[in-house]
Amino acid sequence: MKIRSTLGYIGASLTVIVALLTPFKLVGVFANGLSHMGLHVDEMYSGGPVARSVAMSGYTIDIHRTVKPHMLQHAQPFVQLAWGPVSDLPPSISDVVDIDGDGKPDVRVSFIAPKDAKASLRVNVDALNQNYETMHDVGKIGFSKLIVRVDDKIIVRVPIKTK
């Protein structure tokens, strides 16, 4: 009788251990399953894929592909620009950027790049052609008009004029 109860306690203990360890083993299985489903973050939130990068003196500007809202999204089309790494940025930025890659400047972007990650940011964007909107002293207005710090980059979204 004592052997029977001992085997019962051992079996119960093993069951509890397996139950506690199962989620850790299954996380990888679920993650692989989700990754194969083709799910991704909407471009309205991610800013779209990087179309090209421009090397500046000590830092780069990533120019993302134009993002256009889908049905039921109430944002304006925009282009996301990302300056980084923040640690290599000069204290004040004033760059002329060729967004569409045609060799002609499209916008002049100016902002202060504080070293404090929690400092508020403001941006001025001067449109150098009719395709983009001018913005003055803009922080976070919405998805299409903003400047934010994300990880080691400063992100600026430049709205595209709608006709």
Q: What is the pLDDT of residues 85-115, one digit of tens each?
A: 999 999 999 999 999 999 999 999 999 999 8
Would you state the pLDDT for residue 34?
Answer: 66
Write out the two tokens for 70. Answer: 């889908």
Q: What is the pTM of this model?
A: 0.76
Residue whose C-alpha is closest to residue 83's, from 68, 62, 98: 62
Say how many C-beta atoms besides its own lie within 10 A of residue 78's C-beta: 27
Would you state the pLDDT for residue 55?
Answer: 95
Is 60 a residue whose pLDDT tops 70? Answer: yes
Write out the two tokens for 67. Answer: 């993002």
Would you state the pLDDT for residue 89?
Answer: 95
**Confidence at 2, pLDDT banded by 50, 70, 90:** confident
* Neighbouring residues of 81: CB distance < 8 A, sequence distance ≥ 6: 61, 62, 63, 64, 97, 99, 109, 155, 156, 157, 158
CA–CA dist 150, 132 (Å, integer): 23
Residue whose C-alpha is closest to residue 57's, from 108, 111, 101, 93: 93
Mean of the pLDDT values across residues 112-121?
91
Give me the chain's average pLDDT, please.
Answer: 90
Q: Could you identify the residue written with the tokens 């002049």?
A: 108
**Confidence at 65, pLDDT banded by 50, 70, 90:** very high
Check if the beta carbon of residue 84 is closer than 8 Å to that of residue 163. Answer: no
Q: Give 121-154 pLDDT, tens digit per residue.
A: 999 999 999 999 999 999 988 888 999 999 899 9
Write out the two tokens for 83. Answer: 């300056």
